[in-house]
Amino acid sequence: MTAPSAKDELADVRPHLRFDAERLRDWMSRHVAPVEGPLQVRQFSGGQSNPTYCMQAAGHSYVLRRKPPGPILKGAHAVEREARVMQALGTAGFPVPRVHALCTDETVIGSAFYLMDLVQGRIFWNASFPDLPVAQRAAHFDAMNATLAALHGLDPAAIGLGDYGRPDAYVARQIARWSKQYQEDDMAGRNPDMDRLVEWLPAHIPAGDETAIVHGDYRVDNMIFHPTEPRVIAVLDWELSTLGHPLADFAYHAMMYRMPADILGGLVGTDLRAAGLPTEPEYVAAYCRRTGRAGIPNLDFYISFNLFRFAAILHGIRGRLARGTAASADAASMSGKLERVAALAWEQARRVDDGS
């Protein structure tokens, strides 16, 4: 399947997310490159948190990511951080789109935004790679694995990201952050499994700590593959990136093995051998070889933590729906998965308790 560097299909800009294209064109001419003729603006149908647009002018295509208009939770929708981390990673040769400029002047389009190149390649929505011949799937899986291992191998300080986050207690701070966000969003209601996890997770954090640049949302549909080769040429959606524990970041990616196909294109129910895909132990072993590890003994905990965090994100989407600020056309569908994801998170927690 071939796709532009968009996460999904283009459509007319939704009414509450429209802005003055002429004002944006003037800003682009001053800060990016002269824009001759009209500026065509369309919106990608995804972008659960930060609305994302395709801009076309004078034969060049850009992607614009912005904060949503209206009231937002403190610390959310950090497009400034997205722009910063991609600019730094680009200097290290890591595959990210080229960022042209960041604008924090809200008078231009109504909220802060940044502009980056539109990268041409392939995006896959399902981790089983059903659109590829069976013989090609393992190589694409291995490319995802290698790219994440490469990210975790970078020295943050060497590329100007030494202060991109706190260097310790990432998991504990993340649990506290998402628990607080879940508990304070009264518009989205409560969930019994989430309430259990808020209590359980802090008491079961594994000993030991590490620090690396973490993506925070590393999954198959957040990357662009080369048009013909099994190679990742751009990793997208860096909103949740920070300095953190690399095993927590890997576990978020690996939780595809624990989720059904209708939730982030998971692999539960897939005959991995018939599909030409590695098993979870094989995939974990490949990451460990690349990062010099003997194994990941606390993988079940890290997956439970990540499922909890994902459920908290879905809870936030539900809250934005209630407040009328949801950016994505499929926000209602995503919100509807909250209960199932929370139940999966609690199921993984019970695996830890059972020692299975």
Most confident of the ranges 28-32, 50-54, 66-70, 210-214:
210-214
DSSP lists the bridge partners of residue 8 as: none
Q: What is the mean pLDDT of residues 169-182?
A: 96
Average pLDDT rounded to a whole number, residues 47-73? 81
pLDDT band at 184 (very low <50, low <70, confident <90, very high): very high
pLDDT cut 90: percent of the chain above it: 76
Is pLDDT above 90 for 355?
no
Q: With b meaning 16 or more CB within 10 Å and e meaning fewer, what string describes 146-184? A: bbbbbbbebebeebebeebbebeebbeebbeebbebbee
- Domain 10-117 fold is Phosphorylase Kinase; domain 1 (3.30.200)
3-state SS assignment for residue 141: helix
For tokens 């690349």, name the residue: 290
Report whether pLDDT(48) > 60.
Answer: no
- State the average pLDDT over residues 304-317: 95
> What is the C-alpha to C-alpha distance for residues 204 and 211, in angstroms, rounded to an integer?
19
- Residue 74 — very low, low, confident or very high, per pLDDT cuts 50/70/90? low
| Arithmetic mean of pLDDT over the chain | 91
The superfamily in CATH containing domain 134-354 is: Aminoglycoside phosphotransferase (APH), C-terminal lobe (3.90.1200.10)
Interval 108-120 mean pLDDT: 94
Residue 307 contacts residue 255 (beta carbons within 8 Å): yes
**pLDDT for the residue 10:** 84
Q: At what angle do helices 170-184 and 246-254 cross, to 10 degrees?
A: 60
Both structure tokens of 48: 């659960």
* pLDDT tens, residue by residue, 121-156: 999 989 999 999 999 999 999 999 999 999 999 999
Residue 324's pLDDT is 84
Q: Is the pLDDT of residue 16 over 90?
A: no
**Calpha distance 298→216 (Å, rounded):** 18
Q: Where are the chain's structural domains?
A: 10-117, 134-354
| Alpha helices for the chain (secondary structure H) | 21-31, 79-91, 134-152, 170-184, 192-200, 246-254, 272-275, 280-291, 299-323, 331-335, 338-354
Rounded Cα distance between 1 and 12, Å, is 23
pLDDT band at 3 (very low <50, low <70, confident <90, very high): very low
CA atoms of 334 and 346, how far apart (whole Å): 19
What pLDDT was estimated at residue 328?
67
Query: Has residue 278 got a pLDDT over 50?
Result: yes
Mean pLDDT to the nearest integer, 324-329: 72
pLDDT band (50, 70, 90) for residue 6: very low
In this prediction, residue 271 has a pLDDT band, given cuts at 50, 70 and 90, of very high
> Tell me: the pLDDT tens digits for 218-256?
999 999 999 999 999 999 999 899 999 999 999 999 999
Query: Does the pLDDT of residue 158 top 90, yes or no?
Result: yes
Confidence label for 314 from pLDDT (cuts 50, 70 and 90): very high
Which structure tokens are listed for 149? Answer: 């291992």
Half-sphere exposure of 35 (CA within 13 A, CB side): 21
Q: What are phi and psi of 41, to 5 degrees?
A: -125, 125
Q: Are 263 and 340 in contact (CB under 8 A)?
A: yes
